Amino acid sequence: MSHLSFISHAYIWGGRKPAKVLPQVLAKPWVKLANYLGRPPILSYASYCLDNWYKIDPKKSINLENIALINNFLGGVDEDWFVTIHVCIEDAASYAIDSAHKLSLLNDKNSEKEFLKYLNNICKSLKKVNDIFSRMPEKCDPYVYYHRVRPYIFGTKDNPNLKQGLIYEGEFNNKPQFFRGETGAQSSIIPFLDGALGIYHSNDNLRHYLNEMRDYMPPEHRKMIEDIEQRSVVKNYISKSKILMRKYNLCLEEIRKFRAMHLEYAASYIHKQAQKNNSFGTGGSTIRGTGGTPFMRYLKKHRDETQKQKI
């Protein structure tokens, strides 16, 4: 799926103007494989990040110095760094995901010590996530990202450069299709932790968009999020202990920091670049995320909502 997604996106976005028709030789296997995997035929976060790396030294741990990409578009330090940062974030967050799952299974029969253990694990894991995320500017320049990396990962939905969508030759009765582009919003980390910790967001365009992003996740990830949202009532137990409330709030603070950093990067890597008079190419067409949605106002709102839900 990753190989076909990269090849197809290179075909769609590699010319001076985006292709309006994807030839059958690419469309047919891509659609067939996407249906088998339960995801749309578009470059998603799973293909761009989750399934697109390997260890340089198999005996060493996953870290920024020991992973490389299987596929890229133009190559270069900025593109590789942008993706490998996300790969390492996924690895660092695995401890938080596992602990949040175990936390959601606790009830009033479990001891305060058990709750505290898993909250500590989540907080420790998220600190590592934020440390890795903070290193994005080290080797990924905003200008290079906007003009060299970003143009290849757009989708066909809400995209002014493909207003009529994309025709997958021989598929979908040759009717144009509209799919969102690759975005970190297709990662399961934050929605899973929101669900586990009982962080809720008021109904707005970003919430609707984030729910739509679940269609682009691997089905197993999608189900995992849905299950924990229905199951977790951990906030009810935590609110009975001042020690647990303090640790819970520290977990929420790390999530708030992550959202604040994401907002900061959205401003410097996209919004500011789009404001420049010399913007050119696909990347300079609109002040939207690669998923096709305006983002600044809603990212601020979700950051602030995380802060307000501390107890």
Contact 30, 2 (CB under 8 A): no
pLDDT score at 289: 54
| pLDDT reading at 80 higher than 60 | yes
| pLDDT reading at 286 higher than 90 | no
Contact 216, 42 (CB under 8 A): yes
| pLDDT reading at 66 higher than 70 | yes
Mean pLDDT across the chain: 93
| pLDDT reading at 225 higher than 60 | yes
| pLDDT reading at 279 higher than 60 | no
Q: By mean pLDDT, which of 40-44, 215-219, 305-309 is the weakest?
A: 305-309
Q: Which helix (H) or strand (E) holds 22?
A: strand 21-22
Predicted confidence band at 280 (pLDDT cuts at 50, 70, 90)? very low
DSSP line for 154-171: --STT-GGGTT-BEETTS
Contact 39, 216 (CB under 8 A): yes
Question: Tens digit of pLDDT for each residue in 1-30?
Answer: 999 999 999 999 999 999 999 999 999 999
Question: Tens digit of pLDDT for each residue in 155-189?
Answer: 999 999 999 999 999 999 999 999 999 999 999 99
- Find residue 55's DSSP bridge partners: 67
Number of Cα atoms under 13 Å in the Cβ half of residue 225: 20
Predicted confidence band at 291 (pLDDT cuts at 50, 70, 90)? very low
pLDDT score at 41: 99
pLDDT score at 206: 80
pLDDT score at 303: 93
Predicted confidence band at 294 (pLDDT cuts at 50, 70, 90)? low
| pLDDT reading at 288 higher than 60 | no
Q: How would CATH label the architecture of 2-308? A: Up-down Bundle (1.20)
Closest CA to 8 of 39, 47, 50, 53: 47
pLDDT score at 191: 96
